[in-house]
Amino acid sequence: MSHATGWQLVEGDDHHSAANRDKMARGVPLTDADRDGWLATLCDQLRNHPQGVVLTCSALKRAYRVRLREAAPGLRFVFMHIQREQSLQRVAARGGAHFFSTTLVDNQFTTLEDPSGEPGVLKVDAMAPLAHLQTEVSQWLHNQEPA
């Protein structure tokens, strides 16, 4: 998506602390307190790219999304909807290439506060082909009112 928009890509996982990465690698779910510094860093990333940025992250709770919106008024979210089983398969396919443990998938789904219906949210099927997702999101962004 960053290629389609010309915006820089910021991968949220790259901004977790070493302690958070260690916890997740051991299968220990993060708490709101654990995520506080991570969210602060993501807010800084949004502020540092006023022209626009594609930020990938699991803003699981409404409170997290509110905080990100405060850092970047007019922020929009693409909710990549996926079933638990499909998510588990994707995480397992990463093998040891990522610090996120498969044992955390259930916790992610338990923690998730579905953003459907919130303003500035597009819900897409995460299993759709990438080209389809890029077109769908690009069209949606193009049709949005400027912030």
pLDDT tens string 11-32: 998 899 999 988 888 888 899 9
15 occurs within a structural domain: yes
Radius of gyration of the chain, Cα coordinates, nearest whole angstrom: 15
Write down the pLDDT at residue 127.
Answer: 93
The pair of three-digit structure tokens given for residue 138, joined into one six-digit string: 């690009």
Q: Provide the CATH number for the domain around residue 71.
A: 3.40.50.300
Rounded distance between C-alpha atoms, residue 106 and residue 98, angstroms: 17
Q: Are 69 and 22 in contact (CB under 8 A)?
A: no
24 occurs within a structural domain: yes
6 occurs within a structural domain: yes
Write down the pLDDT at residue 144.
Answer: 78
Structural domains of the chain, count: 1
Rounded distance between C-alpha atoms, residue 137 and residue 141, angstroms: 6
Q: DSSP character for 81?
A: E
75 occurs within a structural domain: yes
147 occurs within a structural domain: no
**Res. 96 pLDDT band, cuts 50 70 90:** low
Burial class (CB in 10 A: 0-12, 13-18, 19+), 5: middle
116 occurs within a structural domain: yes
Range of the domain at 71: 2-141
Q: What is the pTM of this model?
A: 0.85
Write down the pLDDT at residue 130.
Answer: 92
